[in-house]
């Protein structure tokens, strides 16, 4: 008798049997971090962190002047700034983990939420220095600061619709959105922010492939809006008149320029500046002047080059990108950061009317610091790229050569 064990017979699969593909295991935290580190733009992240570190030193230099103005301890604003910087970095890194689709959703939701809060500002907003721009929600919140990144994402999303359906009036939709935001900002009033939002809107409309005739019409409409602001808003008229009239020795912009030039090329040294003590808002709007007095014009040039490097790096990252939404969103976020930075610097150099606008990533601020870091986080998420994927399309290089579509 054979002792072999009989092999069980395999039954044929039933015709109605359902087969399921193996479900891939979810990525662990360490794997997500590895993927993030592989895809993130390390140069852009490094430049941002370097600028924030130098900005912390600048706030330390300006803190005694701010403490004297608000009758608090000399370094109280410096200590608060460190906390806000840490919170901002955490927000920036967390947002940068988002995929492009998630970044789009986050930006659109942020835009809708901040537009709603912006509607409440004229009604229940807190007034400071003659302007009603803040909401008291347990902590002070300026909705326009968080609207900036959401606005760029929302416009990029709208304008990218024209690739799916050339018949959609995307230019009209984006213009109406800009008009609503501009009107709400002028109710505060906040002419500087309105100009910045208008600049982002104009850049995105221009990049989306609108005809030259329509671009000309938009420029005329923008000039008409500025003219109306001059005649309808006393604050705007006063700032513009002061700029063109040369001002007086007691004007903030004049004091800022004198402070900036007082340090010469190499500066007077940390905490050795004296003119900053008479400069209002030295830790926020006019921190660039404090940098000039205590660290010199060479340090000011370094800050300017860092901003140029950040914007250039973001645009270089978009050179080979073929997704129109990503192109527009990345360009819009970069324009928002760069535009705000250079408006602030030009104001300190007395080359632009005073706008009450902080220097992003450098100036002291609570919600403004977190909002700027949120913007950088979205930019990092938008520009994430698998380094092993090759790009075959020219991306932004031939953006202006795209076939024109009806807007």
Rounded mean pLDDT, 223-238: 68
| More confident site: 360 or 71 | 360
Q: What is the tens place of the pLDDT at every residue in 203-226? A: 998 887 766 677 777 777 777 777
Write down the pTM of the prediction. 0.82
Query: Which pLDDT does position 243 carry in this prediction?
Result: 59
Provide, rounded to the nearest whole percent, the portion of the chain with pLDDT above 90: 40
Rounded mean pLDDT, 294-308: 95
**For residue 403, pLDDT beyond 50:** no
371: confidence class by pLDDT, cuts 50, 70, 90: very high
**For residue 242, pLDDT beyond 80:** no
Query: Which pLDDT does position 376 carry in this prediction?
Result: 96
**For residue 343, pLDDT beyond 60:** yes
The mean of the pLDDT values for the chain is 82
Query: Which pLDDT does position 247 carry in this prediction?
Result: 52
Rounded mean pLDDT, 46-55: 95
Rounded mean pLDDT, 243-249: 54
| More confident site: 12 or 231 | 231
Q: How far apart are CA 400 and CA 254, in angstroms?
A: 41
Query: Which pLDDT does position 19 carry in this prediction?
Result: 46
Query: Which pLDDT does position 122 carry in this prediction?
Result: 85
146, 92, 381, 317: CA torsion to nearest 10: 100
Angle, CA 138 vertex, CA 137 and CA 140 arms, to 5°: 65
Q: Which of 13-17, 76-80, 115-119 has the lowest mean pLDDT?
A: 13-17
Q: How far apart are CA 247 and CA 233, in angstroms?
A: 19
C-alpha distance across the termini of the chain, in Å: 88
Q: Which of 22-26, 31-35, 69-73, 86-90 has the lowest mean pLDDT?
A: 22-26
Q: How far apart are CA 314 and CA 153, in angstroms?
A: 15
Kindly tell me the burial class for residue 93, based on how many C-beta atoms sit within 10 Å of its own C-beta (0-12, 13-18, 19 or more): middle
**For residue 398, pLDDT beyond 60:** no
Q: How many CA atoms lie less than 13 Å away from 257 in the CB half-sphere? A: 17
Q: What is the tens place of the pLDDT at every residue in 318-333? A: 887 778 899 999 999 9
| More confident site: 82 or 207 | 82
């Amino acid at each position: 008798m054979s002792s072999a064990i009989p092999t069980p017979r395999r039954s044929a699969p039933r015709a109605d049997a359902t087969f399921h593909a193996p479900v891939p295991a979810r990525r662990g935290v360490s794997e997500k971090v590895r993927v993030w580190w592989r895809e993130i733009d390390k140069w852009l992240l490094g430049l941002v962190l370097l600028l924030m570190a130098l900005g912390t030193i600048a706030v330390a230099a300006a803190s005694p002047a701010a403490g004297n103005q608000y009758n608090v301890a000399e370094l109280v604003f410096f200590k608060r700034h460190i906390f806000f910087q840490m919170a901002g970095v955490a927000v920036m890194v967390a947002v940068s983990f988002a995929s492009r689709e998630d970044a789009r959703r986050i930006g659109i939701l942020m835009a809708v939420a901040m537009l709603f809060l912006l509607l409440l500002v004229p009604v229940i907003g807190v007034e400071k220095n003659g302007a009603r721009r803040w909401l008291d929600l347990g902590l002070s919140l300026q909705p326009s600061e968080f609207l900036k990144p959401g606005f760029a994402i929302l416009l990029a999303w709208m304008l990218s619709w024209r690739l799916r359906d050339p018949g959609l009036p995307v230019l009209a939709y984006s213009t109406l959105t800009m008009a609503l935001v501009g009107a709400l900002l002028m109710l505060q009033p906040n002419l500087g922010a309105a100009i910045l939002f208008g600049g982002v809107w104009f850049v995105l409309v221009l990049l989306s492939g609108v005809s030259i005739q329509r671009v000309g019409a938009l420029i005329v409409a923008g000039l008409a809006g500025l003219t109306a602001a001059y005649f309808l808003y006393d604050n705007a008229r006063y700032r513009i008149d002061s700029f063109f009239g040369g001002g007086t020795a007691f004007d903030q912009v004049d004091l800022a320029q004198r402070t900036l030039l007082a340090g010469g090329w190499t500066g007077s040294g940390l905490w050795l500046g004296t003119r900053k003590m008479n400069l209002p808002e030295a830790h926020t709007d006019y921190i660039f002047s404090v940098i000039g007095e205590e660290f010199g014009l060479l340090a000011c040039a370094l800050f300017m080059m860092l901003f140029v490097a950040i914007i250039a790096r973001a645009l270089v990252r978009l050179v080979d990108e073929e997704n129109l939404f990503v192109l527009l969103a990345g360009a819009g976020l970069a324009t928002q950061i760069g535009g705000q930075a250079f408006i602030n610097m030009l104001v300190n150099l007395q080359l632009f009317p005073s706008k009450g606008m902080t220097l992003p990533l450098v100036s002291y601020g609570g919600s403004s610091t977190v909002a700027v870091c949120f913007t950088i986080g979205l930019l990092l998420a938008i520009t994430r790229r698998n380094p092993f994927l090759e790009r075959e399309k020219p991306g932004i290089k031939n953006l202006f050569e795209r076939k024109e579509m009806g807007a």
